[in-house]
Amino acid sequence: MKTHRQSVQGAFTLIEILITITIVAILASLTVAGISHAMTTANNLKVRTVVMELKNGIESYYTDYNRYPVSSNFAGANGEDGPELLTDGSSPVVDALMGIPPASSGTPDLNPKRTPFANFVPANGDRHGLVGTARPYKLNDMYGRPYHILLDTNGDNQVKNPDAANTDPKISQNQAAHLVMKVAVYSSGKDQTPLTSDDITSWRPK
């Protein structure tokens, strides 16, 4: 026959088990969240590395050729800079930076010296590198989206500031309309939507 003391001891043991399970569950959730955060940080670092390689490669190209790796008719209207470029295969900018000959004989050779101003690895699936073999090459970020490039084609040493139109007011408020630089590059980040708070840019502090 169980005594009252034994019943109390058994009850306390059950409570202790429930508390232990709760603590383990909390620790497990914190571990998963920590791993997810670490993975996002690592992926963003990889994206920023390519962002800076694109920016530095274009600047080195400009120093060498005194022009940008785009076609001669690439210019904006009314003295504005040319439109934003994407590394989605719609422009030969990636090929030119890598020193690869044009895809066809009728295409202008933007890097006749074959100087490699940047190097990009093949993508894993559609992420983080050159996608497929079609030319001009497509270059995607870790999240499967192309990079965005702005160039100072009108020679005023500035480009439009994408952060001025950012959907996050903490970023967009008090932003100048232009960035004082010749080249700006950014990725749309993990949410795959440009002009949001998780964009990975060449002009913001790390």
For the cut 70, the answer to whether the pLDDT of residue 140 exceeds it is: yes
Cβ–Cβ < 8 Å for 58, 117: yes
Give the per-residue pLDDT at 29.
72
Query: CA-to-CA distance for 97 and 94, rounded, in angstroms?
Result: 5
Question: Which pLDDT score, from 0 to 100, does residue 97 have?
Answer: 98
Number of neighbouring beta carbons within 10 Å of residue 141: 28
Structure confidence at residue 87 (pLDDT): 97
Q: Which residues contact 127 (CB under 8 A, 6 or more apart)?
A: 140, 141, 142, 143, 144
Token pair 């990889």 in the structure block, residue: 46
Residues with Cβ within 8 Å of 100's Cβ and at least 6 positions away in sequence, in order, are: 111, 135, 137
What number of CA atoms fall less than 13 Å from residue 104's CA on the CB side? 5
Averaged pLDDT, 103-118: 91
pLDDT, tens only, 178-206: 999 999 999 999 999 999 999 999 999 87
pLDDT at res. 30: 66
Lowest mean pLDDT among 6-20, 37-51, 162-176: 6-20
114 pLDDT higher than 70: yes
Mean pLDDT, range 15-37, rounded to an integer: 73
Say how far apart CA 76 and CA 52 lie, in whole Å: 24
